[in-house]
Structure 1
Amino acid sequence: MRKLRQLLKQSWAVVLLLALWQLWVSLSNYNSIVVVAPLQVVHDIVTHPRLYLLPTLWTLGFSLGGLAIGMTAGVMLAVFSWRSRLLGGALQAGSLVLLATPVVCLIPILARMFGYTSRTELLTVALMTFFPGFVYGAAGLRRLPRRTGEFFQTLAASSNKRLLLLALPSAMPDLAVALRVGTASSVLVTVTAEYLMQTGGLGNLFAVTMQEFNLRRALGASIVAMVLSTILYELASHAEKHIRLRFR
């Protein structure tokens, strides 16, 4: 009950907005092609779960797969930049260029190069989630506890031992933040790629149903994507809290 009250306290504005939306649609009698009521969207999701299940699993799989690849590549390059400041500066400059490129501009370029396939979708998610892993990882590897660097130098520890026993454990809280940030954007990037390339998933379901003027199902796909993104974000936030407690 306590968590339910806290949830209602945080989301009362959304509930009020949906209630006003439902009331407005009920009183206006607009055609369903123009606007649909929230309860109609929920009814479509509940009565046709199989139509949403496979696209949701598709989007979830590519979100997590692209996130895993992007985070792994980001952390590996962060380690390389930790070993070489010159390489780190070059990688950071390239990462900033990548971050400044809107995903809707990047997807057509990648699709032209690699084709309108699911492989390109995975590559897009990996590229857009690479930046948090690299930036937060590189910052965490250099943010060492006080005097620990001098202590390892006194012990004449090798570079590999400093990395495994000092730098990586110190970087874990920053890597947890990178995971949370990457998780927040992974579903959005995946759905956008699916919408533009129509490879499958919730983005493809949204594109097809909008072309068919099935606004109820298109909004249903959007809501499922929002719920999926929220769940992944909350899981990543929960993991971040545990990691901070473990490595503080």
Structure 2
Amino acid sequence: MAAPALLRQCRGMVSLLYSTSRYNSSSTGSTANPVKVGVLQYLSNRFYDVETFVDVSKALKKWNLHRKNKLCIEACERYGFEVGAAVFVLNLKGRIRAWGQNNWYQNSITKWKNDLDFQNYEEIRLEAIDVSGSIISYNGLDNLVNLKALKYLDLSRCPNIDDWSLCRLTAFGDTLEELSLAGCPRITERGLACLHHLQNLKHLDVSDLPSVQHKELVRILLEEMLPQCDIVGMGYGEMEPRVEDAVNRDEMEEHQEATSNLKTREIHT
């Protein structure tokens, strides 16, 4: 919204300069600089095209985001939700690991199909998914919520994951053990409060969340909600000093001051 408004203001300024230039040349009887007038006229006309280009670019970006986060209906209907989720993740350049596999897979779905031999595709269960840094959004999670055995999920550095997206993770309350939300700029403490449904969670990475306020209090809240979970990020190093630490510091300062005064008296005597 800011870019089109700025373009409109610039367009108005250019039009005003162009009109002023023409008015000054006609009122004073002098000949205006043809280069300057030509440039101003060109910019005044082209700002309409620039604003249209910005609007079209935003519309295309929104359409592409929606397209890449659509439910893979065909794959789900033909092979089931597990394979449908694999198709979605691999199309986002992510990584997957199924039960019984030791290594991550991130190539094309066709090669994965050949490697696993989809004769028994109904028995495939995805254990781990990594879509870090991708454009996955709230709608894209439709492709994952039906997974029955997901234990590891990496959503770090995903710019479209927000508080509403975290509400959808309740579908993994019985299975999910490791979750990374590090570096997601749209997540706030409201979304993190939804994680209390993940009672089997053993590892949670919530580092580098710029939209979370009062990180020390959120850390305490997460520890109370998930007592069995190892929480990374929002460490106690970011918290205010405890009362005990403040008292100890004051006592140490008093001791050092008393020692210094004693040494001063000894020197004078």
Pairwise TM-score range, normalised by the shorter structure: under 0.3
Higher helix share: 1
Higher strand share: 2
Q: Which has the higher contact order (CA 8 A, sep 6+)?
A: 1
Greater Rg over alpha carbons, structure = 2
TM-score by length of 1: 0.22
